[in-house]
């Protein structure tokens, strides 16, 4: 599925920008709807099991990809996007549950790491080639060279009607490759062997425990540290969500970088994330948890401010923006393992599932509101894609101040202390 994701998060997004740009502008809304549907499907797993859920999700995703290449009505394309997003995401949400169920405790960390790296690396490889496949097919449809097709793809707004039609068709054919990859994943799911005990708790008679009121049980989720942490994540999430999903569009339409080069830039960006994950333990040891998270955000801000001014590099724009995005992605993601581990220490063990559910629910609402903001305010004009980097820089500065003010003193060395 990592290979399919290399197309659905890159080429497919650019395809939508060509055939239904309003969907891209309001991506947050559709992501929010998808998150709610994912949450509901996860609740059904104890009834259906992992195997049926994954097979059903994969079939729905592949069908959505197939019909999205033929659909013309924006409303239908939006529905197909949601189905595709939910179907693919179910694999991401389910594999941790599968590994926890089937892998011995002593091997779980190793298997989790291996799964994440393989998934990201295969995604990176396909991302690298996907844009080049689009350009190659585009050139064949126009009966011209790859280089000429790459030049034409650098600014889709200048294409003639015939050229644009061929450009859209080249995207559609690559999307069908993604469909084939999803179908391959579905076929592999048929080989999963599961028992009912793998996904359902076995009922046994137990002594009745004294009831605890809802308020008493969940009041710790309203503590200052939890609310402050969620506020920090909200600020970071808003900033990231108005720039990260739109990298391909910004690079192509605002900086006029050709499609093949964009694929290379995005692939190297994924490699930077892998490197960031690898150095995360070293950073936590040297700087502490809060020092690492906040310090990396401080480094990211100047890189963000350079992005909307990328044209100042002239003929070296693609090279310089590629370097900037490489370091931005590496620094921004290097603290993610630290962040995910740290937040589990903010509440008692028994409240961690509820804490995760609360964050997912908040992010679903947030995605919807951000989608409204991007569609009807920020991305009304193409310049909005550049303004987004300034907004994100301001939000990151606010988040850094909150992080150090509330968490540095007590939580900076909490992970190191736990591991002693």
Task: Determine, yes or no, domain membership for 204.
Answer: no
Q: What is the mean pLDDT of the chain?
A: 83
The confidence band for 316, taking pLDDT boundaries of 50, 70 and 90, is very high
Over 60: is that where the pLDDT of 139 sits? yes
CA gap 8, 45 in Å, rounded = 25
State mean pLDDT over 6-15: 82
If asked whether residues 186 and 239 sit together in one domain, one would say no
The confidence band for 350, taking pLDDT boundaries of 50, 70 and 90, is low
Cα–Cα–Cα angle for 62, 45, 66, rounded to 5 degrees: 5
CA gap 39, 364 in Å, rounded = 10
CA gap 361, 342 in Å, rounded = 20
Task: Determine, yes or no, domain membership for 61.
Answer: yes
Task: Give the model's pLDDT for residue 208.
Answer: 54
CA gap 137, 325 in Å, rounded = 27
Over 60: is that where the pLDDT of 407 sits? yes
Minimal CA–CA distance to 35: which of 237, 260, 224?
Answer: 237
C-beta separation of 263 from 129 below 8 A: yes
Where is mean pLDDT largest: 91-100, 281-290, 391-400? 391-400
If asked whether residues 52 and 95 sit together in one domain, one would say yes
Task: Give the model's pLDDT for residue 180.
Answer: 92
Task: Give the model's pLDDT for residue 109.
Answer: 43
State mean pLDDT over 403-408: 94
Task: Determine, yes or no, domain membership for 415.
Answer: yes
Of 193, 227, 249, the residue that ends a domain is: 193
> In this predicted structure, which of 23-27, 76-80, 331-335 has the lowest mean pLDDT?
23-27
CA gap 241, 228 in Å, rounded = 20
Task: Give the model's pLDDT for residue 264.
Answer: 83
If asked whether residues 180 and 226 sit together in one domain, one would say no
Task: Give the model's pLDDT for residue 209.
Answer: 54
If asked whether residues 64 and 125 sit together in one domain, one would say yes
If asked whether residues 223 and 170 sit together in one domain, one would say no
If asked whether residues 19 and 140 sit together in one domain, one would say yes
Dihedral angle of Cα 119, 120, 123, 129, to the nearest 10 degrees: -140
Task: Give the model's pLDDT for residue 70.
Answer: 82
Instruction: Give the tokens for residue 36.
Output: 């709610």
Of 158, 193, 228, the residue that ends a domain is: 193
State mean pLDDT over 385-404: 96
If asked whether residues 19 and 142 sit together in one domain, one would say yes
CA gap 339, 276 in Å, rounded = 13
CA gap 77, 16 in Å, rounded = 8
Instruction: Give the tokens for residue 259.
Output: 């499609």
Task: Give the model's pLDDT for residue 111.
Answer: 64
If asked whether residues 160 and 257 sit together in one domain, one would say no
Task: Determine, yes or no, domain membership for 340.
Answer: yes
- What lies within 8 Å, CB to CB, of 232 at 6+ separation is 399, 402, 403, 406
Task: Determine, yes or no, domain membership for 203.
Answer: no
Task: Determine, yes or no, domain membership for 200.
Answer: no
Over 90: is that where the pLDDT of 205 sits? no
CA gap 9, 399 in Å, rounded = 27
Please state, as a whole number, how many other Cβ atoms lie within 10 Å of the Cβ of residue 260: 23
8-state DSSP, 211: P
CA gap 335, 121 in Å, rounded = 19
Q: How many separate domains does the chain show?
A: 2
If asked whether residues 169 and 317 sit together in one domain, one would say no
From the CA atom positions of the chain, what is the Rg in Å? 22
Over 70: is that where the pLDDT of 190 sits? yes
Counting every residue, how long is the chain? 420
CA gap 402, 278 in Å, rounded = 27
CATH number of the domain where residue 148 is located: 1.20.1250
If asked whether residues 252 and 180 sit together in one domain, one would say no
If asked whether residues 272 and 171 sit together in one domain, one would say no
Taking each helix axis from N to C terminus, what angle separates 105-142 and 259-287, rounded to the nearest 10 degrees?
160
Task: Determine, yes or no, domain membership for 162.
Answer: yes
Over 70: is that where the pLDDT of 339 sits? yes
Q: What is the DSSP string of 231-274?
A: HHHHHHHHHHHTTGGGHHHIIIIIS---HHHHHHHHHHHHHHHH
> Which of the pair, 281 or 106, is modelled with greater confidence?
281
Over 90: is that where the pLDDT of 298 sits? yes
Counting residues of the chain whose pLDDT is more than 90, the rounded percentage is 26
Task: Give the model's pLDDT for residue 305.
Answer: 96
Please state, as a whole number, how many other Cβ atoms lie within 10 Å of the Cβ of residue 45: 18
If asked whether residues 158 and 271 sit together in one domain, one would say no
Over 50: is that where the pLDDT of 334 sits? yes
> In this predicted structure, which of 194-203, 224-233, 345-354 has the lowest mean pLDDT?
194-203
Domain span at residue 260?
217-420
> Which of the pair, 245 or 139, is modelled with greater confidence?
139
CATH number of the domain where residue 394 is located: 1.20.1250.20
| Residues 88-122 pLDDT 10s | 888 887 776 676 667 665 554 456 556 777 787 88
End-to-end CA distance of the chain: 37
CA gap 324, 270 in Å, rounded = 13
The confidence band for 220, taking pLDDT boundaries of 50, 70 and 90, is confident
Task: Determine, yes or no, domain membership for 208.
Answer: no
Minimal CA–CA distance to 331: which of 311, 313, 304, 358?
Answer: 304
Of 139, 160, 193, the residue that ends a domain is: 193
């Amino acid at each position: 599925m990592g290979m399919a994701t290399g197309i659905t998060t890159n080429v497919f997004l650019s395809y939508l920008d060509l055939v239904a740009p309003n969907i891209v502008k309001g991506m947050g809304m559709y992501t929010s709807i998808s998150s709610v549907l994912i949450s509901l499907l996860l609740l059904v797993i104890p009834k259906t099991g992992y195997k049926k859920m994954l097979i059903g999700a994969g079939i729905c995703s592949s069908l959505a990809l197939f019909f999205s290449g033929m659909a013309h009505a924006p409303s239908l394309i939006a529905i197909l996007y949601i189905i595709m997003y939910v179907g693919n995401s179910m694999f991401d949400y389910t594999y941790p549950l599968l590994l926890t169920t089937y892998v011995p405790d002593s091997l779980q960390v190793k298997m989790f790491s291996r799964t994440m790296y393989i998934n990201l690396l295969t995604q990176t490889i396909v991302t690298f080639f996907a844009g080049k496949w689009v350009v190659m097919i585009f050139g064949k449809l126009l009966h011209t060279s790859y280089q000429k097709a790459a030049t034409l793809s650098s600014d889709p707004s200048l294409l003639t009607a015939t050229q644009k039609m061929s450009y859209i068709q080249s995207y559609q054919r690559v999307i069908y490759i993604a469909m084939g990859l999803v179908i391959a994943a579905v076929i592999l799911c048929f080989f999963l062997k599961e028992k009912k005990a793998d996904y359902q708790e076995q009922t046994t008679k137990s002594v009745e425990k004294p009831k605890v009121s809802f308020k008493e049980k969940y009041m710790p989720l309203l503590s200052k540290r939890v609310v402050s942490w969620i506020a920090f994540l909200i600020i970071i999430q808003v900033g990231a969500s108005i720039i990260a999903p739109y990298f391909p569009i910004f690079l192509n339409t605002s900086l006029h970088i050709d499609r093949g080069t964009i694929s290379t830039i995005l692939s190297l960006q994924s490699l930077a994330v892998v490197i960031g994950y690898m150095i995360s333990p070293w950073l936590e040891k040297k700087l502490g948890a809060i020092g690492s998270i906040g310090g990396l955000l401080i480094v990211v801000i100047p890189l963000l401010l350079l992005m909307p001014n990328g044209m100042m590099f002239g003929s070296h724009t693609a090279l310089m923006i590629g370097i900037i995005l490489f370091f931005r992605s590496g620094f921004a993601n290097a603290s993610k393992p630290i962040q995910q581990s740290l937040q589990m220490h903010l509440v008692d063990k028994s409240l961690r599932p509820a804490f995760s559910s609360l964050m997912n629910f908040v992010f679903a609402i947030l995605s919807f509101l951000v989608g409204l903001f991007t569609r009807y305010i920020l991305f009304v004009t193409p310049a909005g894609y550049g303004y987004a980097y300034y907004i994100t820089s301001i939000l990151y500065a606010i988040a850094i101040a909150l992080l150090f003010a509330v968490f540095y003193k007590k939580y900076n060395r909490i992970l190191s202390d736990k591991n002693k």
